[in-house]
């Protein structure tokens, strides 16, 4: 490895593991991501720290859990000012760039990371409004281009293309010195529509294996409420009343993944053209997952595997082959890994563990991964606040009970042996054997024969909470 390697850290938004061939799906046209996996260490059981944008990114970029860094909700709780991001921990040997979506990751004074220590920072992932207007585009609201306009912007003017253009220019200008470049793509985050909607033949689009298993009565009630909300409201203009409708949305989601892949290919080509591909540590992940039809749900926010699981590929400079790691790991491990790979001493406050031993091909002792949830961030939240309460919700809950369900604090452990337990403050626990039931269709938490295992996994969560300073201890 070069003494001072470059860093390219790529973070997509809401991309499920199941979008890559390395995780079992070779139907999606993401050849550049798949090629990266073939020269990477592939972490098959990587998890975000909290399945919603702001807290997930705060953990990823700080190496600390949400309950420690302060960003425990999407918008209402910013990260503590004293908690540094990865870009703050790099020294001036690296030209530092950050392009793309902050994803609600913020300090009290504004988006994170801060500009200090970053040579080039641009949170705007879209083409300038003047450029879009010059190409004959007009914002939906007549004032400014926003989220609702993304599906109607041509690929060459879209967010991924714009980020790729900035990244290629950055690499070209800094090819003669070490650089650390972070790219945060908005896609494949909803709205689930874009210029590549029809790229994948509809007949090749499949439903998840657990699509036929909507949330069961013994699973968290907020999952049921979200499910009913999706069925009632539809998604991005599509009424979800048939298998074909669900497949249509998945087809569009795949198209958004492909849109990022094409842009990312330009960046990889620029690494080659600049002669620095062999000197660059490349890390690819997503801030959190996407249910994409699993349990007949879309989005994230729940503790199902499709929501908390993320792709994680780490390719060392000059790496040619793939390695596969099946021990659970977490996004808080990325910062300590980057620091060790770049030869920078890690500060004591980090809560993750460097993944370098696995990159070396060693087999350190397997360990559990932990995921948390605090606060409310659900589509159905607005529906529960309507007066009168919509009939489709009044059939299954009251306003007060529904809001209490959404506010349930949860702590989750994924053990190396494939057992997963979610400890709920409201008593809505979940226990799954992911080896026998990877789709999480049978909740074993309340079965007497699994009481001992539940106690053991509860103890693991309690130990982790004490070790990491988590004072929000569910009962």
Does 466 reside within a domain?
A: no
pLDDT at 2: 53
The structural domain count of the chain equals 1
pLDDT at 105: 97
Asked if the model's pLDDT at residue 475 lies above 70, the reply is no
- Residue 61 tokens read as 């970029």
Does 61 reside within a domain?
A: yes
pLDDT at 125: 86
Does 345 reside within a domain?
A: yes
Does 411 reside within a domain?
A: no
What is the residue whose two structure tokens read 């083409």? 127
Does 456 reside within a domain?
A: no
Q: What residues make up the domain containing 52?
A: 6-210+242-366
Does 438 reside within a domain?
A: no
What is the model's pTM? Answer: 0.97
CATH of residue 192:
3.40.720.10
Residues 6+ apart with CB under 8 A from 253: 188, 192, 290, 292
pLDDT at 474: 64
Q: How does pLDDT run across 195-207, given as a tens digit for each residue? A: 999 999 999 999 9
Mean pLDDT across the stretch 154-169?
Answer: 97
Going by C-alpha positions, the residue among 266, 241, 269, 220 that lies closest to residue 408 is: 220
Asked if the model's pLDDT at residue 108 lies above 80, the reply is yes
Mean pLDDT across the stretch 111-137?
Answer: 93
DSSP string, 307-365: HHEE-EEEE-TT--S-EEE-S-EEGGGHHHHHHHHHT-PPPTT--S---HHHHTT--PP
């Amino acid at each position: 490895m070069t003494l001072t390697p470059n860093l390219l850290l790529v973070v997509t938004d809401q991309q499920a593991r199941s979008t890559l061939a390395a995780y079992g799906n070779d139907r999606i046209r993401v050849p550049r991501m798949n090629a990266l996996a073939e020269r990477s260490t592939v972490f098959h059981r990587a998890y975000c720290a909290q399945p919603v944008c702001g807290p997930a990114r705060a953990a990823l970029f700080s190496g600390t859990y949400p309950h420690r860094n302060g960003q425990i909700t999407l918008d209402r709780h910013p990260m503590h000012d004293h908690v540094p991001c990865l870009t703050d921990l790099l020294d001036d040997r690296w030209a530092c760039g950050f392009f793309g979506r902050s994803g609600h990751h913020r300090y009290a004074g504004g988006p994170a990371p801060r500009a200090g220590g970053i040579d080039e920072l641009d949170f705007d992932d879209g083409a300038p409004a003047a450029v879009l207007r010059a190409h004959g585009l007009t914002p939906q609201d007549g004032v400014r281009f926003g989220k609702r306009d993304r599906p109607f912007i041509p690929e060459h003017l879209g967010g991924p293309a714009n980020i790729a253009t900035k990244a290629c220019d950055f690499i070209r200008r800094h090819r003669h010195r070490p650089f650390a470049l972070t790219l945060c793509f908005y896609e494949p985050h909803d709205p689930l529509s874009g210029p590549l909607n029809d790229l994948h033949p509809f007949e090749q689009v499949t439903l998840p294996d657990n699509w036929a298993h909507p949330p069961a009565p013994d699973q968290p009630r907020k999952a049921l409420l979200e499910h009913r909300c999706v069925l009632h409201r539809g998604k991005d203009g599509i009424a979800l009343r048939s298998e074909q409708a669900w497949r249509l949305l998945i087809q569009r989601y795949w198209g958004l993944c492909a849109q990022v892949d094409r842009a990312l290919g330009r960046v990889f080509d620029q690494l080659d053209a600049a002669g620095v591909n062999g000197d660059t540590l490349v890390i690819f992940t997503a801030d959190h997952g996407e249910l994409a039809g699993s349990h007949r749900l879309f989005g994230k926010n729940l503790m199902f595997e499709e929501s908390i699981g993320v792709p994680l590929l780490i390719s060392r400079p000059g790496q040619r082959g793939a390695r596969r790691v099946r021990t659970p790991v977490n996004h808080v491990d990325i910062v300590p890994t980057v620091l060790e790979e770049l030869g920078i001493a890690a500060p004591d406050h980090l809560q993750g563990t460097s993944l370098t031993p696995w990159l070396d091909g060693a087999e350190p002792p397997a360990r559990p991964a932990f995921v948390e949830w605090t606060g409310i961030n659900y589509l159905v939240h607005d529906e529960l606040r309507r007066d009168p309460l919509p009939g489709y919700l009044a059939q299954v809950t009251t306003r007060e009970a529904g809001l209490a369900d959404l506010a349930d604090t949860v702590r989750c452990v994924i053990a190396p042996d494939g057992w997963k337990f979610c400890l709920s403050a409201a008593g809505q626990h979940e226990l799954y054997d992911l080896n026998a039931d990877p789709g999480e269709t049978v909740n074993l938490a309340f079965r007497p024969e699994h009481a001992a295992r539940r106690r053991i996994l509860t103890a693991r969560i309690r130990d982790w909470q004490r070790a990491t300073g988590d004072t929000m201890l569910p009962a």
